[in-house]
Amino acid sequence: METLSRFLVFMFLFSRFVSGFTLQNLPVTSFEESYTQLFGDKNFFVHKDGKSVRLTLDERTGSGFVSNDLYLHGLFSASIKLPSDYSAGVVVAFYMSNGDMYEKNHDEIDFEFLGNIRGKEWRIQTNIYGNGSTHLGREERSNLWFDPTEDYHQYSILWSDSHIIFFVDNIPIREVKRTASMGGHFPSKPMSLYTTIWDGSKWATNGGKYGVNYKYAPYVAKLTDLVLHGCAVDPIEQFPKCDEGADEDIRAAQEISPSQRVKMGAFRRKHMTYSYCYDRNRYKVALPECVVNPAEAQRLRVHDPVTFGGIPRRHRNGKHRSRRSRVVGAESI
């Protein structure tokens, strides 16, 4: 019997190692228990079940909500269904920030969903800031392998003292490992979780070429299965208190399994369209935490030889753009 028990434990641990931590099993919290409306008046709606939220953008305002607690590390997740049809200029953001507490040296971890013109797909952008390092963009942008307007899909952030991992439907799409060379640029101060929908006409779609067209409003984002599973911090004592099992789950989730790593590689090969690590117009030398993948670099150079091949951008009259223009150009991909 003891031998059988040991075998079953071994098989459980082996299975977890191969397949990876399952984010679908995280505890879901009610809105009333864990969140507060941030803005939006009647454009914000909580369903009777207390666990589903509707965010609306129209010509009056967007809408959003914020977690009641600050967190120092954890697993944060929501299942989201994005607005359909023409959505250029619309931004749906699921992110962590402490900008209200640290105006000049804030931290941030972003999932941003960028709308598009009719017939073009939504894009997903991830980014991080640490200690106010907003002058250094660490964006990555990708397409998705599904239509995010047809059904709910799970988007998750893992944040520990050594890793940040972005997941889509339990598939890791980006991993950021803390390195000594990053210094204070790795998010390290307690943050709140925010979810918002707003008008990003100036930059979100083709660098502002296409803005929000309110004849297609209202734009509605639907959310359910909201997860805050981590270490809440008392704002006065600044001491984190972790949910039951959170420490173990954070450690398990940051260990990307062989199966998950294969899926992450496949996602990046097929769907990633921009990474700051390969943008030679913004950074002549890749930032220190970047792990350059030669195959990834070559694929992006073929996709956009100007951005990823270091070829200077030019105005139509042949003059070089300013550095600011090049950065804006990179953001429009």
Q: Please report, for residues 23, 257, 294, 300, the alpha-carbon distance to residue 244 in angstroms, rounded to integers and kept in the order given.
A: 16, 23, 42, 43
Q: In terms of DSSP bridges, do strands 53-57 and 219-233 run parallel, antiparallel, or are they unpaired?
A: antiparallel
User: Which of 103, 112, 244, 248 does the annotation list as catalytic?
Assistant: 112
Give yes or no for a contact between 304 and 333, defined as CB atoms under 8 angstroms apart: yes
Q: For residues 170 and 162, give the distance between their C-alpha atoms in angstroms, rounded to a whole number.
A: 20
Known catalytic residue at 140: no
Q: For residues 233 and 255, give the distance between their C-alpha atoms in angstroms, rounded to a whole number.
A: 24
User: Which of 59, 108, 121, 140 does the annotation list as catalytic?
Assistant: 108
Annotate 152-214 with DSSP letters as a single string.
-EEEEEEE-SSEEEEEETTEEEEEEE--GGGGGGS--S-BEEEEEEEE-TTTTTGGGTS---G
Q: For residues 256 and 254, give the distance between their C-alpha atoms in angstroms, rounded to a whole number.
A: 6
Three-state DSSP at 1 gives: coil
Rg of the chain, C-alpha, whole Å:
20
Known catalytic residue at 108: yes
Question: Is residue 288 packed enough to be buried (19+ CB in 10 Å), middle (13-18) or exposed (0-12)?
Answer: exposed
6 forms beta bridges with none
Q: Please report, for residues 88, 141, 160, 207, 251, the alpha-carbon distance to residue 202 in angstroms, rounded to integers and kept in the order given.
A: 11, 17, 33, 7, 39
Q: Tokens standing for 257?
A: 């399994």
**Catalytic positions:** 108, 112
